[in-house]
Amino acid sequence: MDAKTDIKKRLPSRHVTEGPERAPHRSYLYAMGLTTQQIHQPFVGVASCWNEAAPCNISLMRQAQAVKKGVASAGGTPREFCTITVTDGIAMGHDGMRSSLPSRECIADSVELTVRGHAYDALVGLAGCDKSLPGMMMAMVRLNVPSIFIYGGSILPGNFRGQQVTVQDMFEAVGKHSVGEMSDADLDEIERVACPSAGACGAQFTANTMATVSEAIGLALPYSAGAPAPYEIRDAFCCTCRPSRTSAALSLTYSTSPKSSKRHRMSRI
């Protein structure tokens, strides 16, 4: 028996895919179009906080497809799933903000439950907003399976009459408008150009700060947090979310866990 096959005996997904008693489980996998080879490969969860609530999340589905290609090319079987996001930029200023912090726990809980419930062997998590980044990373540390975090990326700056602007300028514009220093027409003009692309708020707010943290503690690939959401290099980073050894199975067996990686990185900071 070769290493790829033998390694499955030590992975969580063996409880779903191996042995005659798991024939009913495998029948569900065949129903989704998986091949025999894919069923007996390591299962890698690809968790995304994609939704249409805000631009910070809108590119995550695209990036998740790149992750799946990288996992498959290295001999793993990607299993994609989504969880929620409550975006502060939309929720704040009204009762919706009461949902923001609890959403972090919901994200962590839902990702953890999905990975445990389906016995996935590893996890790649994609998130793009204030509470989804820590929620996804919390799930990785709780699960302590081989994991990689991917940030969705920052939004590009807008252009208002030759000047770069971000959502921060929008809040300042509201203040100016409230005291009569900006007209209705000018406010309407700037709100249409301040956020020109997918991505998280274009400043060192929570999302970009937590993205920096993800690299510092070793959960994200080096330099992966910096590229804006629309840039093609983001997809290139996603495609490299693949085992670095000769096979997915070997990498999943010998790769370090999130807890050990975090401890190692924190000891060097």
pTM comes to 0.90
CATH number assigned to the domain comprising residue 51: 3.40.50
The answer to whether residues 133 and 208 belong to one domain is: yes
C-alpha distances (whole Å) from 173 to each of 49, 170, 184, 188, 241 are: 30, 5, 10, 10, 41
Helix boundaries (H) for 23-166: 23-31, 36-39, 60-73, 88-91, 100-118, 132-143
Res. 73: pLDDT tops 90: yes
Question: Looking at the 3D structure of the chain, how many domains does it have?
Answer: 2
Q: Which two tokens mark 174?
A: 């509201």
Residue 250: per-residue pLDDT:
40
Q: What is the pLDDT of residues 11-51, one digit of tens each?
A: 999 999 999 999 999 999 999 999 999 999 999 999 999 99
Residue 262: per-residue pLDDT:
56
Antiparallel, parallel or unpaired: β 158-160 and 163-165? antiparallel
The answer to whether residues 188 and 87 belong to one domain is: no
Res. 244: pLDDT tops 50: no
Distance, in Å, from the CA atom of 260 to the CA atom of 59, rounded to the nearest integer, reads: 30
Q: What percent of the chain has pLDDT over 90?
A: 82
Q: Which whole number is the average pLDDT over 194-201?
A: 97
Residue 5: per-residue pLDDT:
54
Q: For residue 172, give its domain range.
A: 157-196
133 CB-near residues (< 8 Å, 6+ apart): 127, 149, 151, 206, 207, 210, 211, 214
**Residue listed under structure tokens 């805000």:** 54
